[in-house]
Structure 1
Amino acid sequence: MGEYSKAISSYQRSLEIRKIALPPNHPDFAQSYNNIGLVYNNMGEYSKALSSYEQSLEIRKIALPPNHPDLATSYNNIGLVYNNMGEYSKALSSYEQSLEIRKIALPPNHPDLATSYNNIGLVYNNMGEYSKALSSYERSLEIFKVALPPNHPDLATSYYNIGSVYSHMGEYSKAISSYQRSLEIRKIALPPNHPDFAQSYN
């Protein structure tokens, strides 16, 4: 917790300096609020994280063109907090706004699009809407397959998430197949004591 407090105070100092040096809606302010939100989210202080991310978004709306990728990042981060808070419909709405911007701003196989589909899948999974979760996770996987090297850890995560949905749906042979693919990639991509292995073996 001490490291988080140091990070917050460092980012807040940076913000104070920027307030003196920069015009009021400069994009660097948005970055400062975004960084503070990130730390609060990691601390589990979700209302503070949300407030910081929303301040970041408001500045970006003024400072940037309407389909700038940084706006998508803001919506994505807000979605992340809502998901952590269990406010799934708000999370879904934020993630979908992020995805719409990314579809316009980024090439069709950009990894950030895959991340958006993965996050939407995560929310549907949390809501128990497994067929929608599966569809989103599969879209994410297809993009990752094109965008990333064949044994990238994000591919392992995709296969694991798909396995998790199949398991919830009672399709255990498909679940096992996806989990095994995830484990194979993790064996290649990660050191043997990496915490993701515990997830794979569970």
Structure 2
Amino acid sequence: MGLVYENMGDYPKALLSHEKAFEIRQQSLPTNHPDLGASYNNIGNAYSDMGDYPTALMNYDKAFEIRQESLPPNHPDLAQSYNNMGLVYENMGDYPKALLSHEKAFEIRQQSLPTNHPSLGDSYTNIGSVYHNMGDYPKALLSLEKALEIRQQSLPSNHPRLGESYNNIANVYYNTGDYPKALSFHEKALSIREQSLPMDHLDLGASYNNMGLVYENTGNYSKAHLFYERAVQNGQQSLPPDHPTLQQRTKNLENIKKKQ
């Protein structure tokens, strides 16, 4: 049930369900049983989704300890633990630790999975994201292109993760000032997201906003206005009025109106 609530975005209920599952497992299983590790991991996910990164990390650490004791060193669940800790470290701005965790996850996945497995694509994506945040755009691009290659081989052509890959690469080009390439990749991301996501999905709104940024920086204010407007409409459907993402999108729209 916890995973269902998580997928619905109801993280408090997800947390409650995961904690109940943990209590039952704690009473009936040995302290180093992998299912206890899974419970800690799920609780960590709920806290991470709610933005409580220190508590998420504490639970991920407990999951990792159990998994390290009870599983072989190249088990996918260990890679999952490294992956999740890496995401939390990245969200906390600790990029060296994030990179180290993602590289460890990648090493395990490389040993235990086929070369075109989507999880390897996820690892390349995460490593690329950290390099991007560190401002190392060449390394970011290299990792993100590898992720895209794997996803192109292993996923349907309109899969949201392909949209994510195109979006990530576009953002790197945007930050390096290569706006034509940024626009090209954002258009590919948007095309996939419009096919595969509901109209109120935040990733779709992110694509609209990103397109607006590129058009604004190339001086095409009318198109920037159009995409910022769509981004705001998307946010209004799915976010509370005081949410920082919606506020930023609204600010972008207001600023572009002043330039026209």
TM-score by length of 2: 0.74
Deviation at 1:196, TM superposition (A): 2.0
Long gaps (5+) in structure 1: none
1:164-175 mapped onto 2 (5 Å cutoff): 164-175=171-182
Provide Cα deviations, 1:47-100, integer angstroms capped at 9, x if missing partner.
110010010001001111110000000000000100010000000000000000
Report the Cα distance in structure 1 between the residues aligned to 2:198 and 2:29, rounded to whole angstroms.
Answer: 44
Report the Cα distance in structure 1 between the residues aligned to 2:14 and 2:202, rounded to whole angstroms.
Answer: 24
The answer to which structure, 1 or 2, has the higher relative contact order (CA under 8 A, 6+ apart) is 1
- RMSD of aligned residue pairs (Cα, Å): 1.2
- Aligned partner of 1:95 in structure 2 is 102
- Aligned partner of 1:4 in structure 2 is 11
Runs of 4+ in 1 over 4 A off after TM superposition: none
Report the Cα distance in structure 1 between the residues aligned to 2:12 and 2:194, rounded to whole angstroms.
Answer: 35
TM-score by length of 1: 0.95
Match of 2:116 among 109, 128, 142: 109
May I ask how many residue pairs the two structures share in their alignment?
A: 200
Matched, 1:32 2:39: yes
1:76-155 mapped onto 2 (5 Å cutoff): 76-155=83-162
Deviation at 1:129, TM superposition (A): 0.7
- Aligned partner of 1:186 in structure 2 is 193
Once structures 1 and 2 are overlaid, which stretch shifts more, 67-76 or 42-51?
42-51
Long gaps (5+) in structure 2: 1-9, 210-260
- Aligned partner of 1:41 in structure 2 is 48
Over 3 Å counting, the alpha-carbon distance change for 1:58 and 1:21 in structure 2 is same
- The residue identity in structure 2 corresponding to 1:183 is L
Give the secondary-structure state (helix, strand or coil) at the position aligned to 2:72.
Answer: coil
